[in-house]
Structure 1
Amino acid sequence: MSGLWSCGQNESNSIDLTGSGQVSYNFHIRPILSDKCFACHGPDANKREADLRLDTEEGAFKGLKESPGMFALVAGKPEESAVYHRIISEDPGELMPPPESNLKLTTEEISLLKKWIEQGAKYEPHWAFLKVEKPAVPKTEWGTNEIDAFTYRKMASKKLEPNPEAKPHELIKRASLDLAGLPPTPAMLDKYAEFSGENTYEKLLDELLAQPAFGEKLGVLWMDISRYADSYGYQDDEVRSQWPYRDWVIHAFNNNLPYDQFLTWQLAGDLLPYATKEQILATAFNRNHKYTEEGGIIPEEYRIEYVLDKTNTFSKGILGITMECAQCHDHKYDPFSQKEYYELFAFFNNSKEKGFEGDVSQSKPAKTPILWIERNDLDSILTFINHSDTTKLSVSVMGENEVKRTTYILDRGVYDAPADSVDVSTPASIFEFPDNLEKNRLGLAKWATDRNNPLTSRVFVNLIWQEIFGKGIVKSAGDFGMQGDLPTHPDLLNWLAADFMENGWDIKRLLKQILMSSTYRQSAAIGKDHMNIDPDNLYLARAPRLRLPAENIQDLVLASSGLLHGEIGGPSVKPYQPSGLWEAATSGRGTLATYIQDSGDKLYRRGIYNFIKLTVPPPKAIIFDSSNRDRCEITRNRTNTPLQALLMMNDPMVLEASRVLATKLSETYEGEEAIAQAFKRIVCREMKSEEKELLWDYYQAELEDFKANPENTKKALDVGEYPMNEKAITPENAALMQVIVSLYNLEETITKS
């Protein structure tokens, strides 16, 4: 264990092949074998060639079936190892991987394999399946807390020096966006301007963590994982009422429900002794998948689809592994058999839900079994009761059949091809399912949150790291398996995961711990060494520059303009959207055939509350790379396209926010001071002298144009539904509005740096 997690060559994918450095199976050899060999010589017994298995030590060292007396690997002797001879062969009939596979080993990979064999061809258990142990914290001369000791050690090994601390206004904006998903107010910028006296950086973090906006910010991540949507999906895609579950997630984060309980309630809240309505509501997590409402289907086919979705969401979102491959066959890369997949599937296979519960004309807002929530239920716990227009709400939750349904391995994953029956269990390569646990979802939840489970805590702290730094310590946050990325800082990941469990799975503590670190507080300035040595910022010698998620861009625009309606929770809302999108992608049946825009305060809610129709996700959010929510998503892309710039320049919400802010500022400020106030609200710092001059010149040019063309003044200001006083229709306001639109279009505005 100590060797695997040490800071030396095992923490790097590169090694000096001419020296005496130790080659690591996990960090050097397994990635090569996984990419080039496991498809034919890996875990999938049905596709295994020549009865040769290279993913296990036992398989690799046994004699070759086709060549008696020869062995695939001979420790210390590459010249006697068939594997080595096959990878260096010049005979196309002998060469491995075979030329027709379009796979080829590089010279460096061949040298690594040779050196590994010379050193004894030692196998190691997959790093992610080893029990989480807390490594010793390195001794370093830089940093604020333990996190910095690990990151600085890696920086030093790469001959990098950390950046100096960011300026106070940069840290205030960064922390506010990370913890609340909102820009800091001018008052907050002034209060913490120099972090002096009582107004320390730590106090800022505590204030942000205590804001109700915290749960909304972190809730976006969990909505992607839980595939939350406001419609059922498939062709008819009718409305559903799962939003009380979203409110529960926000509430749970705000109240800092420990992560182990947070998971347990969602996986099996209905199975807890004396389960409360809140705990039952949490199990809507399992019911957020798509449902069909079309006639002519085969109900069992769709019921199986629903259970598959639950299984895959659990494995990817909570365990960070890709088990869905094993639906049809043994996994080709990871040590999961098809039998083990259906043993995990069996935990979710006893739900009361059906594959078909009526067409659109007969559908109710939630599929059975449902939880009926009265207006007076949970009013001290959740906020959604006050939002309901009816006396009752219905939410799809979990419920177990009294007579246990038999689970079968499905031949090639086909619903009507049952083979052998299986009982509930979990993959042995991860962590054996203890005999004393209940053989149901509650037992599965206890297994997932057991101190001996190697994945759950690692996966979650990695997700939080990804939220803050843009990339996880394991970049493939949803794949901790053989094909996933190796951790850049394995000791740090192990330390954080162990510390997280030791301290009660405390989510707010984890976030504060990261944000208090000197690693987080660095400047984002990019120097020559950064570009030459670490252009991707894998080793964190600077703060990352990250464009905000789609929801938080909306939040920033609304908050900085003063339009944001800050009510927590409630039904989803339908903001501005181009006409005809829903109509072009509808069956013509049901209440969602036509998009009916909301009005009033509903137009100015945070992005987390936007209505998600699965067949037509919100177009603005999709342009900025949000999840379409039809399946569990762990990581969003960050693209850069012309459509994003066109959206920011022409979106009615951005234009309306600019108009509203301009007219509000003009009531108190004039000219340059109004521009300065707008800049501070939007960009979250004071203007530089050259920026003042540039923006003032732009304002003057626009003002001159509006005065010369008075008919354009009203046209420019006439955008959005927020009421406007006739007296506010002035060339000065129109010109100021154009300046504000330009501020919203600055890269700095929508970038966390």
Structure 2
Amino acid sequence: MKSKIALALILSGLVALLYVYKKGGFDHGYDGYSKRELPGTVDYNFHIKPILSDNCYTCHGPDANKRKAGLRLDLEETAFGELPESPGRFPIVPENPNKSSIYQHIISKDAGQLMPPPDSKLSLNAYEKRLIKKWIQQGAPFEKHWAYLPPEKSEVPKAESAEEVSGNWGNNEIDAFVLAKLGENGLRPSEKASDETLIRRISLDLTGLPPKPEKVRELLDKGADSDIPRMIDEFLSSPAYGERMTQSWLDVARYADSHGYQDDSYRTMWPWRDWVIHAFNENMPYDRFLTWQLAGDLLPGADKEQVLATAFNRNHPITQEGGVIQEEYRTNYVLDRTNTLGKGILGITLECAQCHDHKYDAITQRNYFEMFAFFNQVDEKGLQMDAVQAKNKKFFADPPFMTISREDTEGVLSFVNLGEKEKINVMVMNDSAPRTTYLLNRGEYDRPTDSVQPGTPSSILAFPDEFPKNRSGLARWLTDKDNPLTARVYVNRLWAMLFGKGIVETSGDFGVQGSLPTHPKLLDWLAVDFMEHDWDTKYLLKKIMLSATYQQKSIMRPELETADPENRLLARAPRFRMSGEMIRDYILTTSGLLNPEIGGPSVKPYQPAGLWEETNAGEDRGILTRYVPDKGEDLYRRSLYTFWKRTLPPPSMTIFDAPTRDFSEVHRQKTNTPLQALVLQNDVQVLEAARVMAQSMLTAGPDSPDLVRDVFRRILIRTPGEEELSTLNDYYHDTVELYRGNIGDAEKLVAVGEYEQRETDPAKTAALMLTAQIIYNLDETITKE
């Protein structure tokens, strides 16, 4: 009976919803839209353009091949011009909605005249129609896309404007912008986080590792609140900082230790990865960091470090299969470099213009192949080299490249380790094959049409005549202070690293279809300030971290659950799950297992058996097709150094949303799946870490009443509450008694892992090990808050 009643209620609800929909309740006349207050001044970029982009540009946008009725609405001159198919009529007549044909079409009751047409499944709600009407009444002012306008350092908002909301809250200019936005929405910021939370937060953000217990005690004894600037400087000067920053850049650069495609054999690119670590630790200015990677080989008197940096351009997948059409794949490699530049550095979807004019952004197919031309001169012979997989040649740990000689032939940079005389080949750039670039019909390698010269979209920034038309000139264009994207995109990415999402949520798409910035003036202020301070990454990170916005508590207050559930207005600190690499490194660090060695060849930690064999085609080629875990200290290197095979990335990291690295990624998704819990429960690395921690604690004090408390503090960097401690202590003592009656199971459990065993009580070890594993499985442990 109850199930029948429930079904009846559901069906009646669906009928009611259908009735409301047919009556125009959703997006068609619903009171919530008709009564919603319009802004005093309608802004083209933030109010009108998103409506036109979502509903009109498919048929009336930049793509000439798909344009209908000859009408283009993304440009002022065509939106105001006479309709080609209707003389005497105009799409938009400023100040006169009644004579503006697009407005008449969007409010039409005639299905044959209504725009967007009903069969498009697109529609404007009442609020959007009212916005367009008011915009036209206000003169229909057009603007260049917000992200293509050079950023400006606008006046910092006055703190007094929100005193009633905030009191005296705020540390720097960032807070003034955030506070103004909160005040506009009737919200107040959160209180400052505890010292323990801030120490852990700053350490994770700057090193990717939890702070060491002795460091936490030192900071707490001194008073972390007054010591935050020094604490930030100390973490920024740690070698682990460069590793943490490099981890994110590897996704952008699509770095891997194998070629990809079907054979997916080894490559040696780790010296480039080590150079990136070095560059971040040396705080290389971002404009120089980009210039060396894009065009280091073209710099006057280029040295081996500058040439090595250009391996960035050759991190893409490469086929070594027989029978392929070489020109097809060569073209694919150049396409990849072009797309990586677009998404990874400029934050635009250049790839959408490979086959036709961009449907939404003012980027033509010709623009695309003009960008393509910058990368089309490299001698691709180097892509067919046989890489040497060197072991234990960590020449980068000391002053870089001082023990290496260089040979540069056909796009391969060879390093010779003078201590062992072993050559290590790395693919780099070498423009030794001048070739004409053609616009490719539909983007197909074998359908060339018009020839094109290297160039850039004028909608973003025209390419200056005085710049050389090669990658060196491209790098100068990218880092020109008039370029509206480069600094904005990088600042936004660093913000996303700290806050979980950027001021522009779509970190790889600053175009018309991308998200609008939540705090546009703040983003622009930071971008200009970053350039004014010589593109200094450490300066920018410290600036953000010293803000009261960054130092807030992350607790969700009741009023925010409805006013700002996604924390877009920043009334609290974010709380989000760490990456798979950070989780593994966190566990290794807190257990005492982490090997802090910097650089060198990639290593193979534990991995379920048989996976590599399943993903390899063809005959068994030994080490290339079978996964053989390393031994000793190499098992416990940072996850940054884990061997990355494109056809099978590290499984425990993939489960936590790591990409394949087949192409550039700038922001990982964050999912929550049962497989993640199973990794934390059953992975050998987690179990071994818990065992090593338990044996370490028991060796130091087998009868200490504080064993569980100390494990808790070591993992979570805080003191447990009374209920937490009582619950975990009960579990520990109960489990000890359980294993006292079954020592065989205890001995079997504590035998996990390759790390050396210590002579400890098996029952206590197993019990404390499982207690540590419970804490490792807590949501708080794998979350940065």
Same fold (TM over 0.5): yes
Change in Cα spacing, 1:382 to 1:736, as seen in structure 2 (3 Å) is farther
Aligned pair 1:169/2:188, yes or no? no
CA distance in 2, matches of 1:632, 1:387: 35
Contact 2:394 2:600 in 1 (8 A): no
The residue number in structure 1 matching 2:24 is: none
Aligned pair 1:400/2:431, yes or no? yes
Aligned residue runs from structure 1 range 485-524, under 5 A: 485-524=515-554
CA distance in 1, matches of 2:358, 2:103: 25
The residue number in structure 1 matching 2:304 is: 277
The residue number in structure 2 matching 1:304 is: 331
CA distance in 2, matches of 1:685, 1:399: 53
The residue number in structure 1 matching 2:439 is: 409
Equivalent position SS for 1:672? coil
Aligned residue runs from structure 1 range 240-259, under 5 A: 240-259=267-286
The residue number in structure 2 matching 1:675 is: 708
Aligned pair 1:720/2:750, yes or no? no
Change in Cα spacing, 1:383 to 1:96, as seen in structure 2 (3 Å) is farther
CA distance in 1, matches of 2:50, 2:224: 52
CA distance in 1, matches of 2:137, 2:499: 39
Change in Cα spacing, 1:686 to 1:473, as seen in structure 2 (3 Å) is same
The residue number in structure 1 matching 2:776 is: 744
CA distance in 2, matches of 1:561, 1:376: 28
Aligned pair 1:613/2:632, yes or no? no
Aligned pair 1:25/2:44, yes or no? yes
Alpha-carbon distance, 1:640 to partner? 0.6
The residue number in structure 1 matching 2:400 is: 381
CA distance in 2, matches of 1:16, 1:213: 54
> Residue 127 of structure 1 aligns to which amino acid in structure 2?
W
Alpha-carbon distance, 1:672 to partner? 3.3
Change in Cα spacing, 1:194 to 1:513, as seen in structure 2 (3 Å) is farther
Q: Deviations over 1:350-404 (max 9, x none)?
A: 011149737xxxx4449xxxx9x999799522599789976121101000025x2
The residue number in structure 2 matching 1:71 is: 90
Contact 1:347 1:439 in 2 (8 A): yes
Contact 1:315 1:321 in 2 (8 A): yes
Alpha-carbon distance, 1:656 to partner? 0.1
- Aligned residue-pair number: 729
Aligned pair 1:183/2:226, yes or no? no
Alpha-carbon distance, 1:429 to partner? 0.5
CA RMSD of aligned residues (A): 2.1
Aligned residue runs from structure 1 range 472-487, under 5 A: 472-487=502-517
Aligned pair 1:684/2:717, yes or no? yes
The residue number in structure 1 matching 2:414 is: none
CA distance in 2, matches of 1:741, 1:187: 22
Q: Deviations over 1:618-649 (max 9, x none)?
A: 11101101121110001101111111111101
Question: What fraction of aligned residue pairs are identical, expressed as a percent?
Answer: 53
The residue number in structure 2 matching 1:42 is: 61
CA distance in 2, matches of 1:150, 1:392: 54
Contact 2:775 2:781 in 1 (8 A): yes
The residue number in structure 1 matching 2:23 is: none
Equivalent position SS for 1:200? helix
Q: Deviations over 1:46-78 (max 9, x none)?
A: 111000000011111111122211111111111
The residue number in structure 2 matching 1:9 is: none
Find 2:662's aligned residue among 612, 618, 630: 630
Change in Cα spacing, 1:555 to 1:383, as seen in structure 2 (3 Å) is farther
Contact 1:39 1:332 in 2 (8 A): yes
Equivalent position SS for 1:395? strand
> Residue 275 of structure 2 aligns to which amino acid in structure 1?
W
The residue number in structure 1 matching 2:102 is: 83
Aligned residue runs from structure 1 range 558-637, under 5 A: 558-589=588-619, 590=621, 591-637=623-669
Alpha-carbon distance, 1:79 to partner? 1.2
Q: Deviations over 1:262-298 (max 9, x none)?
A: 0000000000111111110000000000000111111
Find 2:138's aligned residue among 119, 127, 131: 119
Equivalent position SS for 2:700? coil
Equivalent position SS for 1:28? helix
The residue number in structure 2 matching 1:52 is: 71
The residue number in structure 2 matching 1:136 is: 155
Q: Deviations over 1:334-357 (max 9, x none)?
A: 000000100000000001114973
The residue number in structure 2 matching 1:732 is: 764
Equivalent position SS for 1:292? coil
Change in Cα spacing, 1:197 to 1:738, as seen in structure 2 (3 Å) is closer
In structure 2, stretches of 5+ residues that fail to align are 1-32, 160-167, 405-416
Change in Cα spacing, 1:604 to 1:15, as seen in structure 2 (3 Å) is farther
> Residue 474 of structure 1 aligns to which amino acid in structure 2?
V
Contact 1:266 1:279 in 2 (8 A): yes
CA distance in 2, matches of 1:277, 1:666: 51
The residue number in structure 2 matching 1:6 is: none
Alpha-carbon distance, 1:588 to partner? 3.4
When normalised by structure 2's length, the TM-score is: 0.90
Contact 1:649 1:745 in 2 (8 A): yes
Contact 2:612 2:648 in 1 (8 A): yes
Aligned residue runs from structure 1 range 200-239, under 5 A: 200-239=227-266
Aligned pair 1:449/2:468, yes or no? no
Equivalent position SS for 1:192? helix
CA distance in 1, matches of 2:521, 2:269: 40
Find 2:677's aligned residue among 635, 645, 649: 645
The residue number in structure 2 matching 1:8 is: none
The residue number in structure 1 matching 2:165 is: none
The residue number in structure 1 matching 2:454 is: 424
Contact 2:310 2:429 in 1 (8 A): yes
Q: Deviations over 1:704-739 (max 9, x none)?
A: 1000111111111010100113x2252111111110
CA distance in 2, matches of 1:67, 1:180: 63
> Residue 732 of structure 2 aligns to which amino acid in structure 1?
Y
CA distance in 2, matches of 1:491, 1:296: 54
> Residue 643 of structure 1 aligns to which amino acid in structure 2?
L
> Residue 653 of structure 2 aligns to which amino acid in structure 1?
A
In structure 1, stretches of 5+ residues that fail to align are 1-13
Equivalent position SS for 2:705? helix
CA distance in 1, matches of 2:489, 2:229: 26
Alpha-carbon distance, 1:592 to partner? 2.1
Q: Deviations over 1:504-530 (max 9, x none)?
A: 100001001111110000011111111
Q: Deviations over 1:146-192 (max 9, x none)?
A: 11111111111111111110000000000000001111111111111
Q: Deviations over 1:301-321 (max 9, x none)?
A: 000000000000001111000
Contact 1:248 1:382 in 2 (8 A): no
Equivalent position SS for 2:600? coil
CA distance in 2, matches of 1:487, 1:15: 26
Contact 1:561 1:661 in 2 (8 A): yes
Contact 1:573 1:598 in 2 (8 A): yes
Equivalent position SS for 2:589? helix
Change in Cα spacing, 1:129 to 1:383, as seen in structure 2 (3 Å) is same
When normalised by structure 1's length, the TM-score is: 0.94
CA distance in 1, matches of 2:403, 2:579: 25
CA distance in 2, matches of 1:384, 1:228: 25
Alpha-carbon distance, 1:92 to partner? 2.1
> Residue 477 of structure 1 aligns to which amino acid in structure 2?
S
The residue number in structure 1 matching 2:129 is: 110
Q: Deviations over 1:540-560 (max 9, x none)?
A: 110000111111101100000
Find 1:458's aligned residue among 488, 498, 510: 488
